[in-house]
Amino acid sequence: MKASGKLAALTLTALLTVTACGGGGDAAPAAQGPQPLRMSIWTSNEAHLKLFNEIAAEYRKSHPQVGEITFDPIPFENYTTTLTTQIAGGNAPDLAWILENSAPDFVGSGALVPLKSKVENAGELVPAATRLWERDGELYAYPFSTSPFGVFVNTDLVKAAGQKTPRELIKAGQWDWEHANEINKAVAAKGKNGLTILNFDYKAWDNLATVWQGWGAKAWSDDGSTCQFNAPEMVEAMTFMHKAIFTDKSMPGPGTAVDFFSGDTAMAVAQISRAAMLEDATFKWDLVPLPAGPKGEYAVIGQAGIGVLKKSPRAEQATDFLAYFTNVANSAKLAAYFPPARSSLLTADTMAKTSPMLNGDQLQEVVIDGIEKGVVKPSHKGQAELAQTARAALDPLWKPDADVKAVLDGVCAKIQPLLGG
Amino acid sequence: MTVTDLGNRVAERAATRPRHFWTIPRRDALVGYLMISPQLAGSALFVLLPLGLVVYYSLQEWNVLAGTFEFVGGDNYAKLLADPNMGQVLTSTAFFSVGLVVLNLTLALTLAILLDQRLRGTTFFRTLFFSPVLVSLVAWTIVWQFLLQQDGGVNGLLGVAGVDGPNWLRGETTALLSVVVVQVVKNVGLNMVLFLAALQGVPRQLYEAAQLDGAGAWTRFLRITVPLISPTILLTSIITVVGSLQVFAQIAVLTQGGPGMSTTVLVYYLYQQAFQFRHLGYGATLSVLLFLIVAALTLLQWRLRRRWVFHES
């Protein structure tokens, strides 16, 4: 071999050695000293993080073998994508907060550690809250937050527009979408924003379940095999929304950034965890249930579970910490922001002790009653691709001259193949 | 001793003397290899190895959540050929790239010519047009997202002029145009500086001679400026074409591929498939396609340089 050839071979060997040494991302760490744990979460709210860190610090006092426990916030918009990328890149957290729309994928793939025998008083978990997280009778993620959507109301803006407040309408038995729309029209006419659905932004269409459920509409059939976007109920619901956006201007149009918490918006459909953002609010606010639709009163639930990833080299410690984090005592503390799935805690009195931002009426109407009668936002296997495909097909709806029925027919034509029906 | 004998003895000594391995040429070669070895190692580790891995992954079905790997051969390539979205994706990619390259190079050259004049204030304008290159890409794009809102700054300015502006990021044509313009304004300064340097290298006496011969401004531009800065035109066009095919952050922040799929260019579609939909094998296949397109276009431009790039040598 020529000298240059030898040199090249030597370089390549050195490179391969370096590469080989750099591999093994999944290798177990040296089991010496306290082992750290990392949990991915979507919230970066200071009040939430403070509570999480307090519980973790308490746990470490009795578990010296566990090192620092970090809560790793990932922005909500790209939460699942970022989490998946971390897993693919060999940087998976030990525990992960999992949103309801990706529950079928995480639970069905076998990526999570079974938890049922580890959870304290697992028998008291409300069946409606555990359904998404179970497979073959085993629980794969703790239903950490079972949170019905409600409507946050800026009562100052509503009154300034000369309208009855939603609370007054509830007492008069008139709290429905038509009356809500009248309030929002009046507020919009005064130059402020009417009603916004948080996180929808004309992309996350599954949040529209908080509206269409009032018409009895569904994205797909209960067995997940048939598209129902073009069913008459959905067409009616979407026609109502389209009119509210483009004719009544009672909902902000596409391409408009709206923030309820800054005080320029009359109403926002959101979950109670957002109440923490109203701590320093400069306006009077209220939380009321979703308005009734033509099919009567209803509730929609957003859920999040916490699971332990099988890939974690510290899965056993992570499972033990999760059991502590979600035991009865800590669930009661966490209930301040994240409605618990434990029947013993699901009373307005109990929750009021830990939710200083919300009063008994609000907790009873929105949370307790909501969990009882609510349906979970749509979720399906392969939800990310379904969501993106439906988003692209729904885009033509968000124009003033859209043919609602034709657009919804188009949505079904696009997503039916993905539903597998 | 004759001269011939002396010559023979020198030759014998040379023949019997032990030959050293480290001759001067070999030592030079070793030094040369050592000099380039960090770059070689970097290229192998961060270019060749990932390239090989991407090809390898394109032959697999990788279930990230389950942690399983399955060899599927050419299935992902068959899926690519049958993908009903590819037509729309490639069309959007072509429109986006052509629009961006034409607009960027034209504007950059125009600005460079204007700022090459010996006028007061050119330094200020050079700094002004170059400054967006230094701004964080995501911050820049977020600011533009606000400006392009229905009731944002752009429509506010149009309103002053009595024009009712469109909902820029919600119309299929305007969304693509918006992303192109945001990208051009961000990076045009870089090409402008390269063109400016090239223009300042053109000998002024050529212009004076041409002017004496009666050549007008347009003729001087076509016959003197363009040929003499053609190597820079080649460089900027290669950089801009390759860059246009890799624009991601602007689309992710401004439109997320919408409305519909109007701004879903190949690199964004690749991201969706690999990371959002968790089809990592198919995402790798799309990466191979993107690599082939970039390589083919670069090679084509390199080949065409013989026809239109002027070299003094």
pLDDT digits (tens, 9 = 90+) for B44-74: 999 999 999 999 999 999 988 888 889 999 9
Query: Please, are residues A105 and B61 in contact by the beta-carbon 8 Å criterion?
Result: no
> Within this chain, do residues A291 and A385 fall inside the same structural domain, yes or no?
yes
**What does the pLDDT read at residue A256?**
86
CB-nearest to B66 from A111, A382, A396 is A111
**What does the pLDDT read at residue A13?**
41
**What does the pLDDT read at residue B197?**
95
| Domain count for chain A | 2
Q: Do B45 and A19 touch (CB under 8 A)?
A: yes
Instruction: Tell whether the model's pLDDT for residue B42 goes beyond 60.
Output: yes
Give per-residue pLDDT as tens, B158-211: 999 999 999 999 998 999 999 999 999 999 999 999 999 999 999 999 999 999
Q: CA dist A232 to A229, A398, B40, B129, Å? A: 9, 19, 64, 55
> Within this chain, do residues A324 and A414 fall inside the same structural domain, yes or no?
no
**What does the pLDDT read at residue A370?**
87
> Within this chain, do residues A284 and A381 fall inside the same structural domain, yes or no?
yes
Question: Is A192 a member of any domain?
Answer: yes
ipTM for this model = 0.82
Question: Is A26 a member of any domain?
Answer: no
> Within this chain, do residues A108 and A167 fall inside the same structural domain, yes or no?
no
Contacts of B258 in chain A (CB under 8 A): 203, 391-392, 395
Question: Is A17 a member of any domain?
Answer: no
Residue B79 at interface with chain A, using a CB cutoff of 8 Å = no
Kindly state the average pLDDT of the residues B256-285.
Answer: 94
Pull the structure tokens for residue A172: 């008069």
Of chain B residues 261-300, which have a CB less than 8 A from chain A?
261, 264, 272, 275-280
> Within this chain, do residues A254 and A397 fall inside the same structural domain, yes or no?
yes
Q: Do B256 and A203 touch (CB under 8 A)?
A: yes
Positive or negative torsion for Cα A144, A150, A151, A155: negative
> Within this chain, do residues A207 and A321 fall inside the same structural domain, yes or no?
no
Taking any CB pair shorter than 8 Å as contact, residues of chain A touching chain B are 3-4, 7, 11-12, 14-15, 18-19, 81, 84-85, 87-88, 105-106, 109-111, 202-203, 253-257, 310-311, 382, 384-385, 388, 391-393, 395-396, 398-399
> Within this chain, do residues A189 and A231 fall inside the same structural domain, yes or no?
yes
Question: Is A18 a member of any domain?
Answer: no
Positive or negative torsion for Cα B115, B116, B119, B124: positive
> Within this chain, do residues A291 and A325 fall inside the same structural domain, yes or no?
no
CB-nearest to A392 from B49, B62, B258 is B258
Query: Please, are residues A167 and A288 in contact by the beta-carbon 8 Å criterion?
Result: yes
**What does the pLDDT read at residue B1?**
55
- The DSSP letter of residue A341 is S
| Range of the structural domain that residue A205 is part of | 148-299+377-418
Query: Please, are residues A176 and A292 in contact by the beta-carbon 8 Å criterion?
Result: yes
Q: Do B170 and A87 touch (CB under 8 A)?
A: no
Instruction: Tell whether the model's pLDDT for residue B16 goes beyond 80.
Output: no
> Within this chain, do residues A180 and A239 fall inside the same structural domain, yes or no?
yes
**What does the pLDDT read at residue A45?**
87
SS3 (DSSP) at A43:
coil
Question: Is A96 a member of any domain?
Answer: yes
Average pLDDT, chain B: 91
Give per-residue pLDDT as tens, B78-123: 999 999 999 999 999 999 999 999 999 999 999 999 999 888 888 8
> Within this chain, do residues A233 and A174 fall inside the same structural domain, yes or no?
yes
Instruction: Tell whether the model's pLDDT for residue B289 goes beyond 90.
Output: yes
**What does the pLDDT read at residue A339?**
86
Question: Is A204 a member of any domain?
Answer: yes
Give per-residue pLDDT as tens, B120-130: 888 898 999 99
Instruction: Tell whether the model's pLDDT for residue B312 goes beyond 90.
Output: no
Contacts of A202 in chain B (CB under 8 A): 170
Question: Is A295 a member of any domain?
Answer: yes
Q: CA dist A227 to A131, A239, A383, A396, B5, Å? A: 22, 18, 13, 18, 104
**What does the pLDDT read at residue B89?**
96
Contacts of B257 in chain A (CB under 8 A): 388, 392
Spans in chain A with pLDDT lower than 70 = 1-32, 421
Percent residues over pLDDT 70 in chain B: 94
Cβ–Cβ pairs < 8 A, chains A and B: 95
**What does the pLDDT read at residue B120?**
84
CB-nearest to B63 from A109, A254, A311 is A109
Question: Is A185 a member of any domain?
Answer: yes
> Within this chain, do residues A360 and A219 fall inside the same structural domain, yes or no?
no
Query: Please, are residues B64 and A87 in contact by the beta-carbon 8 Å criterion?
Result: yes
Kindly state the average pLDDT of the residues B20-40.
Answer: 93
> Within this chain, do residues A206 and A231 fall inside the same structural domain, yes or no?
yes
The pTM for the full model equals 0.85
CATH number at residue A130: 3.40.190.10
**What does the pLDDT read at residue A5?**
46
**What does the pLDDT read at residue B11?**
66
Q: CA dist A74 to A40, A147, A197, A202, Å? A: 7, 20, 21, 21
Kindly state the average pLDDT of the residues B31-49.
Answer: 95
